[in-house]
């Protein structure tokens, strides 16, 4: 139970916070996420905010809704692992995009994700710890998700406006 309600959410929250703090969509996995966004013509800032908001929502569900923690952890880890496998198959062995600009290689993050996923899939939490239903887990998850979604979009949009506002000044300094 601690794996799905503490360890996996902490792992994902760390990635979401680091990614959000940098607010740089170019640190996302290049061969899958960035290439897919380019081919579909998706704005990268909106894509980044959406991906981080989804991660915050998954964390909120894992923390607040006990009976959904295990499926949410498994689905999230499977999706991230599939992205990492695709990155490696397509030739990216340099950066995973999981921790922003300071991302380790995809193989390293895939190893950690795989270990967590095996624990989530193979470990039966009910054999050791009975579940304790919360008072209002769905409302807590909705509130945590809302905070994460609003923060994601607000921070990414603010950093995007700052980039656009500073672009002429940077260009003028570079030209002089």
| Residues 93-119 pLDDT 10s | 888 887 777 788 888 888 888 888 888
CA-CA distance, 25 to 14, in Å (whole number)? 17
CA-CA distance, 24 to 103, in Å (whole number)? 13
Q: Is the pTM value of this prediction over 0.75?
A: no
Distances (CA, A) of 13 to 3, 27, 42, 57: 14, 17, 25, 10
CA-CA distance, 119 to 41, in Å (whole number)? 38
In three-state secondary structure terms, 78 is: helix
| Residues 81-95 pLDDT 10s | 999 888 889 888 888
123: tokens are 């470990």
């Amino acid at each position: 139970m601690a794996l799905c309600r503490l360890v996996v959410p902490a792992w994902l929250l760390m990635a979401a916070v680091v990614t959000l703090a940098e607010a740089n969509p170019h640190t996302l996995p290049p061969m899958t996420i960035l290439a897919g966004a380019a081919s579909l013509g998706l704005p990268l800032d909106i894509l980044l905010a959406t991906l981080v908001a989804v991660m915050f929502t998954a964390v909120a569900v894992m923390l607040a809704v006990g009976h959904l923690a295990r499926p949410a952890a498994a689905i999230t880890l499977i999706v991230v692992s599939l992205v990492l496998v695709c990155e490696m198959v397509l030739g990216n062995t340099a950066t995973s995009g999981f921790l922003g600009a300071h991302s380790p290689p995809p193989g390293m993050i895939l190893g950690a994700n795989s270990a967590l996923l095996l624990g989530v899939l193979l470990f039966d939490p009910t054999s050791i710890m009975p579940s304790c239903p919360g008072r209002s887990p769905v409302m807590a998850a909705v509130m945590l998700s809302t905070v994460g979604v609003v923060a994601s979009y607000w921070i990414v949009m603010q950093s995007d406006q700052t980039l656009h506002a500073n672009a002429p000044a940077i260009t003028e300094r570079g030209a002089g």
